Each structure stands twice: as structure tokens, then as C-alpha cells.
């Protein structure tokens, strides 16, 4: 389930995300901007918002989708750093998948906070059931560490990861 269309301009180093009309009532742009502003005040592991309006959000380009050949040797340590910043801010991503983990110059970054929520809030029942897809924790509450680890393990098993070409997840 893709909630948006993404265009990347590497020359200008800008990513433009346009929310699909069927998802406008969920407040994805507002929520993503809210959390990214807080996260950017603490760390450069998250994209900087350069524009938001209506159904569009633009951020600085911060890397390419993680692939087997780009997984940093210390990915687990970097993941913990990212999740610690999120915990400090009080945000839960709720929807981590491989294409939300970017790599640039050996550093991991996390994107796509449209479905994020406070760690103190329950996931609204009106939100789609499929958040996180096959990377979602089997628990009732989303578990960002579980989803992050499953996402990295997944890309390490396959030569190339393509967002719309999910292969079975080996146990």
C-alpha cells in the first residue's frame, strides 16, 4: 500500500512526496512535518523539511534505499542510535520497511514519518491495518526495533530490494 508518489531530484538534492488523494484525510503531511522538525532538532539521521503544503512535502535528499551491498558493518549500532533519538523525542514510526531506511556514505537514515505517533498513543482504529506489511511486529503494538531489524535482515538476504517486488520473508 503506497500512500504517496515520490520524485527524487539528486541534482537539486530534493525529494518531493505527494500524498495520494485517498489518504488525504489521515493528516500524513502534517504528522510527518511535525515529527521531522522535532527529530531534526536532535539528529541529522532524518530528512530536513524544506517545504510543506497541501498534499506535498519536500525534504532534503539524504541517501539511497538500503541494499545488501550498502548495509554498514555497524548497522545495528546505528539503528540503536536512531531509535534512541526517536525515544527521546517520544515518537514511534509504526511503519518501518526497507525502503524507509536509507544509506549515505555508510550512515543510516530513517524516512517516511507520515504514520508516526507519540509513543504514548494507541494507533487509531481508523488507520489501515497493513502498516508495516511483512515487517510488522506480531505484537498488537508496532515495534520499531523489530521492524527495523527485519527490514535490514530482509535486504541482506536478497541481491536487490525493490519496493514493489517483495519476496517471501524467510523465517
Q: Is the pLDDT of residue 13 over 60?
A: yes
Q: Measure the CA angle with vertex 31, ends 130 and 79; round to 5°.
A: 70
Total-model pTM: 0.91
Please give the average per-residue pLDDT across 111-130, as a whole number: 91
Dmax over CA atoms of the chain, in Å, equals 42
* Beta pairing partners, 113: none
Please give the average per-residue pLDDT across 30-53, as a whole number: 96
CA dist list (Å): 119 to 8, 56, 102, 113: 30, 26, 23, 13
Residue 129's pLDDT band (boundaries 50, 70, 90)?
confident
- The CB density around residue 94, as the number of other CB atoms within 10 Å, is 20
For cell 503506497, name the residue: 2
Least confident of 59-63, 71-75, 120-124, 149-153: 120-124
Residue 134's pLDDT band (boundaries 50, 70, 90)?
confident
Cα separation, 58 vs 68, whole angstroms? 27
- Please give the pLDDT value at position 139: 81
User: In terms of Cα–Cα distance, which of 166, 28, 37, 19 is closest to 97?
Assistant: 166
- The CB density around residue 42, as the number of other CB atoms within 10 Å, is 13
DSSP structure string for 88-128: HHTEE-S---GGGEEEETTEEEE---TT-EETTSPPPTTS-
Cα separation, 5 vs 121, whole angstroms? 28
CA dist list (Å): 32 to 139, 146, 152: 24, 21, 23
Residue 171's pLDDT band (boundaries 50, 70, 90)?
very low
- Domain 4-157: CATH class, spelled out: mainly alpha
- Please give the pLDDT value at position 123: 87
Q: Is the pLDDT of residue 165 over 70?
A: no
- Please give the pLDDT value at position 83: 98
Residue 162's pLDDT band (boundaries 50, 70, 90)?
low
Amino acid at each position: 500500500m503506497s500512500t504517496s508518489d515520490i520524485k527524487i531530484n539528486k541534482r537539486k538534492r530534493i525529494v518531493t512526496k505527494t500524498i495520494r488523494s485517498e489518504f488525504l484525510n489521515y493528516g500524513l503531511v502534517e504528522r510527518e512535518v511535525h515529527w521531522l522538525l522535532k527529530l531534526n532538532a536532535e539528529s541529522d539521521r532524518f530528512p530536513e523539511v524544506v517545504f510543506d503544503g497541501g498534499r506535498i512535502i519536500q525534504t532534503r535528499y539524504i541517501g539511497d534505499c538500503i541494499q545488501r551491498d550498502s548495509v554498514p558493518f555497524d548497522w545495528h549500532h546505528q539503528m540503536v542510535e536512531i531509535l534512541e533519538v526517536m525515544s527521546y523525542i517520544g515518537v514511534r514510526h509504526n511503519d518501518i520497511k526497507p525502503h524507509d531506511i536509507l544509506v549515505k556514505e555508510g550512515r543510516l537514515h530513517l524516512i517516511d514519518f507520515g504514520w508516526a505517533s507519540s509513543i504514548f498513543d494507541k494507533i487509531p482504529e481508523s488507520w489501515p491495518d497493513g502498516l508495516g506489511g511483512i515487517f510488522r511486529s506480531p505484537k498488537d503494538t508496532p515495534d520499531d526495533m523489530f521492524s527495523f531489524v527485519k527490514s535490514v535482515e530482509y535486504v541482506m538476504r536478497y541481491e536487490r530490494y525493490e519496493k514493489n517486488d517483495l519476496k517471501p520473508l524467510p523465517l
